[in-house]
């Protein structure tokens, strides 16, 4: 097999891996979006119940949900950064193959 064919096969495998990663990230993103909606519903329920509970109680629950939301958002940002890094690496590889 020629060197170019070997490089193309390697590039194809990398593209497949990036595609798999993108699919996985999309799935995770959908999951995070669903969890975000669930958290929003919980926040709305807590806000509605706030009048029924002592201020300290609902503030604690609200803070906990906000922390969970912040964690999910940070995970989403990390996934986006990983995807951007993989795409940048793919561009470098494509340039190397076409050089």
The domain spans of the chain are 3-98
- Per cent of the chain over pLDDT 70 is 91
- Per cent of the chain over pLDDT 90 is 20
Q: How far is CA 24 from the centre of its chain?
A: 9
Distances in Å between the alpha carbon of 12 and those of 40, 90, 94, 95, 97?
A: 41, 10, 10, 14, 11
Predicted model pTM: 0.45
Return the pLDDT at 45: 85
When pLDDT is cut at 50, 70 and 90, the band that residue 77 belongs to is very high
When pLDDT is cut at 50, 70 and 90, the band that residue 1 belongs to is low
More confident call, 87 vs 52: 87
């Amino acid at each position: 097999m020629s060197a170019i064919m070997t490089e193309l096969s390697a590039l194809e495998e990398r593209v497949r891996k990036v595609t798999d990663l993108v699919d996985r990230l999309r799935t995770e993103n959908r999951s995070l979006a669903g969890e975000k909606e669930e958290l929003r519903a919980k926040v709305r329920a807590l806000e509605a119940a706030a009048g029924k509970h002592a201020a300290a109680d609902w503030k604690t629950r609200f803070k906990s949900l906000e922390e969970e939301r912040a964690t999910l958002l940070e995970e989403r940002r990390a996934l986006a950064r990983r995807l951007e890094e993989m795409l940048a690496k793919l561009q470098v590889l494509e340039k190397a193959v076409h050089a």
